[in-house]
């Protein structure tokens, strides 16, 4: 069970990291934008504390859904393109067998195989037409194979990670309804903790480089958070 969960995290690590990081930054951008533009420590542009919280939650789910659906459409488009190129390669192998055969030999020679070894290897794997097509896609066209990627699970992983990590900066606003300035300070701490947790998760899946994993996530997310607050501050100055 634990191994299955670990494999699941590893398979969807990219979506978890991207979704989580965007969720944290997006939500904090809302909070930081309002806080930077605040007229004073206890008022955010005349809006109620609850309004800011609801806006943050609505923005979180809307952007999370948009990212998830965007991932689904992107992967399905990649699969369609790959399928089309794969069919073109199959037709080329059938109609221009010798030319594709020579291409395969040329690819192996460029990778350091001798002419004799290249010919021997190509003679073997070209006996299996399906493998030959896949091999040409990988090593000649160098197109990543998205056929085994489930676009819907990828979209769900992105959305779930976006919401799970993205709601953390809003937690102080769920329990503190009197002092906006204090809630924002706690939100900054929560954002920092969320970025660290995301970095640790990345490290646990990859298995090495804890300091680097955490530092990369915190650095990238921190820059985006500072930009969001600075933009809000410009509105206050204006």
Q: Are residues 187 and 223 in the same domain?
A: yes
Q: Tokens 């670990």, residue? A: 6
Q: Which domain holds residue 7?
A: 2-77+151-237
Same domain for 133 and 200: no
Residue 133 has a pLDDT of 92
Rounded to whole angstroms, the Cα distance separating 171 from 166 reads: 10
Place of tokens 């769920």: 174
What 3-state DSSP class applies to 43? strand
User: pLDDT tens, position by position, for the chain (238 residues)?
Assistant: 544 555 656 778 888 888 888 888 888 877 776 765 554 444 444 445 666 678 788 888 999 999 999 999 999 999 999 999 999 999 999 898 899 999 999 999 998 999 899 999 999 988 899 999 999 999 888 888 888 889 999 999 999 999 999 999 888 878 776 556 677 788 888 888 888 988 888 887 777 788 888 888 888 877 877 777 777 666 555 5
67 and 155 within one domain = yes
* Predicted local confidence at residue 179, as pLDDT: 58
Residue 185's pLDDT is what?
81
Q: How far apart are the first and last CA of the chain?
A: 56
Q: Are 54 and 165 contained in the same domain?
A: yes
121 exposure class (CB count in 10 Å sphere: 0-12, 13-18, 19+):
middle
- Specify whether 157 is located in the same domain as 64: yes
Tokens of 131: 């493998």
pLDDT of residue 230: 75
Same domain, 155 and 233: yes
93 lies in the same domain as 52: no
Residue 145 maps to a domain: no
Helix (H) / strand (E) element for 83: namely helix 49-95
Domain total in the chain: 2
Question: Contact at 8 Å (CB) between 164 and 61?
Answer: no
Q: Which pTM does this prediction carry? A: 0.78
Report CA 168 to chain centroid distance, whole Å: 18
Same domain, 84 and 175: no
Question: Are 45 and 8 found together in one domain?
Answer: yes
Indicate whether 30 and 104 sit together in one domain.
no
């Amino acid at each position: 069970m634990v191994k299955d969960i670990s494999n699941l995290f590893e398979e969807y690590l990219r979506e978890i990291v991207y979704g989580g990081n965007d969720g944290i930054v997006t939500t904090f951008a809302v909070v930081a934008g309002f806080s930077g533009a605040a007229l004073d420590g206890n008022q955010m542009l005349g809006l109620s504390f609850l309004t800011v919280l609801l806006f943050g939650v609505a923005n979180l789910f809307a952007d999370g859904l948009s990212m998830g659906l965007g991932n689904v459409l992107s992967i399905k488009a990649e699969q369609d393109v790959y399928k089309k190129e794969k069919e073109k390669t199959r037709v080329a192998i059938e109609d221009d067998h010798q030319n594709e055969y020579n291409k395969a030999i040329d690819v192996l020679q460029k990778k350091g195989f001798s002419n004799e070894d290249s010919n021997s290897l190509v003679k073997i794997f070209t006996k299996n037409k399906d493998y030959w097509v896949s091999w040409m896609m990988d090593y000649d066209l160098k197109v990543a194979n998205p056929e085994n990627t489930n676009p819907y699970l990828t979209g769900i992983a992105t959305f779930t990670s976006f919401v799970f990590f993205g709601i953390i900066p809003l937690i102080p606003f769920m329990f503190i309804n009197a002092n906006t300035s204090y809630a924002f300070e706690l939100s900054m701490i929560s954002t920092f903790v969320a970025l660290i947790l995301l970095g640790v998760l990345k490290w646990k899946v990859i298995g090495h480089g804890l300091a680097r994993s955490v530092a990369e996530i915190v650095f990238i997310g921190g820059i985006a958070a500072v930009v969001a607050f600075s933009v809000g501050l410009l509105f206050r100055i204006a």
